[in-house]
Amino acid sequence: MEASNSAGERPSPQVADDFGTGFDAHYLAAKKSIDDRALNRYVWTALCHALPQTTGAEPANIVEIGAGIGTMLARAVDWGLLNGPATYLATDCDAGHLRLARQYLAAWADERGSTLHWPEKQCGRLCTAQAEIALVFEAVRAEEIARRTESRGTFHLVIAHAVLDLIDLPAVLPGLLSQLTDNGLAYFTCNFDGATLFLPEYSGGEEQEILRRYHASMEARLTGASRTGRRLLSMLQGPGLELLAAGSSDWVIHPRNLTYSGDEVVFLHLLIAGVEQELSGKSGPPPPGLAAWARTRHRQVETGALTFLARNLDFLTRRRPSPP
Ligand SMILES: C[S@@+](CC[C@H](N)C(=O)[O-])C[C@H]1O[C@@H](n2cnc3c(N)ncnc32)[C@H](O)[C@@H]1O
């Protein structure tokens, strides 16, 4: 479940979206620590064990789709997944996000005393105490990557984090998985699975219809989008695939001593604003009480009274070797 766009008074991205996907860069930066907490550690650990078995002695060759501002790459280094030579192709349909990713990763590398150089415009070299990573940034849609024949069978790992609800899975998934080597891995995480909860219960009674319409708007954009998690749970057990690990990665945010972390505040405000914007008369009249609902929920963030949950699922699947 992805909130897009920002509330009027909230911070907006410094770089315009070239392709107009509308994901606020501040939302993506704030989401990082919420995702850190949510990501399923059992699935992550399975990935850490499986990747060296897949790569053998070769440098890991990784592609990420919908990479946004580069938070997953930072995490993969910080959490020790990348601890040797690797090539990391970070892609997104939004060139603006990839430009911000350069800034985000430069600041991140700086903080850790790592070096990040850009010998060419879209090609960087990241050296940390453990890892040496050739970085390539490419503004390209996942659909286009799935169609590529020249890179078929070459990636040890494809990553898609909080993006597959935006992609036509039956059309794109087979091509994406065909990019993997024999025993290549797909790590697909924070896949929204149909449940959103705000607490305390909304006294006006309109919230049920607002959330129903919000989920319906995802379906209107792409059939099945609001049930991406469970769809993947069955798709990733299809022919030629072995589901190695699966688990929940719910976003759960609640106040502590009537406050939140700075990231949680930004995330919650932008999420509420995203719901309001999505339903504000784009297709027919907005649901009754929408503006009052948003005002109440924003106020509850300010006063440390709001609790939020969204159900997500994580997966690690392996491409079985093709028969000789
Ligand atoms: C919710 S954001 C998640 C970004 C990043 N994975 C993260 O979690 O911070 C979704 C990202 O997918 C990108 N995106 C949307 N549709 C896409 C497509 N068809 N192909 C590639 N990227 C896409 C958006 O530009 C955006 O950066």
- Name the CA dihedral angle for 302, 38, 179, 166, rounded to a multiple of 10 degrees: -40
Q: Closest ligand 1 atom, CA of 161?
A: 6
Residue 38 inside a domain? The answer is yes
d(CA 166, CA 222): 7
Q: What amino acid occupies position 144? A: E
Give yes or no for residue 290 CB within 6 A of ligand 1: no
Q: Is pTM, for the whole model, over 0.85? A: yes
Q: What is the token pair recorded at 12? A: 């907006």
Give yes or no for residue 108 CB within 6 A of ligand 1: no
Give yes or no for residue 165 CB within 6 A of ligand 1: no
Which residue, by CA, sits nearest to atom 25 of ligand 1?
94
Question: Residue 2: what pLDDT?
Answer: 62
Give yes or no for residue 33 CB within 6 A of ligand 1: no
Q: Closest ligand 1 atom, CA of 68?
A: 27
| CATH number where 169 lies | 3.40.50.150
Q: How much distance in Å is there from the Cα of 24 to the middle of ligand 1?
A: 11
Question: Minimal CA–CA distance to 72: which of 53, 45, 94, 90?
Answer: 90
Question: Residue 100: what pLDDT?
Answer: 95
Residue 319 has pLDDT above 80, yes or no: yes
On whether the CB atoms of residues 76 and 64 are closer than 8 A, the answer is no
- Provide the domain limits for residue 119: 25-192+223-250+312-319
On whether the CB atoms of residues 321 and 182 are closer than 8 A, the answer is yes
Question: Residue 176: what pLDDT?
Answer: 98
Q: Could you tell me the pLDDT band of residue 40, with boundaries at 50, 70 and 90?
A: very high
Question: Minimal CA–CA distance to 269: which of 4, 2, 1, 10?
Answer: 10
Residue 13 has pLDDT above 50, yes or no: no
By most ligand atoms within 8 Å of CB, the mutation choice from 166, 179, 312 for ligand 1 is 166
Residue 211 inside a domain? The answer is no
Residue 229 inside a domain? The answer is yes
Q: How much distance in Å is there from the Cα of 163 to the middle of ligand 1?
A: 5
Which residue, by CA, sits nearest to atom 24 of ligand 1?
66
| Secondary structure (H, E, C), the chain | CCCCCCCCCCCCCCCCCCCCCCCCHHHHHHHHHHHHHHCCHHHHHHHHHHHHHHHCCCCEEEEEECCCCCHHHHHHHHCCCCCCEEEEEEEECCHHHHHHHHHHHHHHHHHHCCEEEEEECCEEEEECCCCEEEEEEEECCHHHHHHCCCCCCCEEEEEEECCHHHCCHHHHHHHHHCCEEEEEEEEEEEEEEEEEEEECCCCCCCHHHHHHHHHHHHHHHCCCHHHHHHHHHHHCCCCCEEEEEEEECCEEECCECCECCHHHHHHHHHHHHHHHHHHCCCCCCCCCCHHHHHHHHHHHHHCCCCEEEEEEEEEEEEECCCCC
Q: How much distance in Å is there from the Cα of 106 to the middle of ligand 1?
A: 20
**Low-confidence winner among 95-109, 153-167, 273-287 (lowest mean pLDDT):** 273-287
Residue 52 inside a domain? The answer is yes
Phi, psi of 190, rounded to the nearest 5 degrees? 50, 55
On whether the CB atoms of residues 55 and 87 are closer than 8 A, the answer is no
Give yes or no for residue 66 CB within 6 A of ligand 1: yes
Residue 77 inside a domain? The answer is yes
Residue 307 inside a domain? The answer is no
On whether the CB atoms of residues 309 and 195 are closer than 8 A, the answer is yes
Phi, psi of 31, rounded to the nearest 5 degrees? -65, -25
Tell me how many domains the chain contains. Answer: 1
Please give the mean pLDDT across all residues of the chain.
Answer: 92
Give yes or no for residue 2 CB within 6 A of ligand 1: yes
Give yes or no for residue 23 CB within 6 A of ligand 1: yes
The mean pLDDT value for 31-49 works out to 98
Give yes or no for residue 172 CB within 6 A of ligand 1: no
Question: Minimal CA–CA distance to 307: which of 226, 262, 251?
Answer: 251
Give yes or no for residue 264 CB within 6 A of ligand 1: no
Residue 117 inside a domain? The answer is yes
List the end-to-end C-alpha distance of the chain, in Å, as a whole number: 41
Give yes or no for residue 75 CB within 6 A of ligand 1: no
User: What is the tens place of the pLDDT at every residue in 203-217?
Assistant: 878 999 999 999 999
Give yes or no for residue 4 CB within 6 A of ligand 1: no
Residue 182 has pLDDT above 50, yes or no: yes
Residue 136 inside a domain? The answer is yes
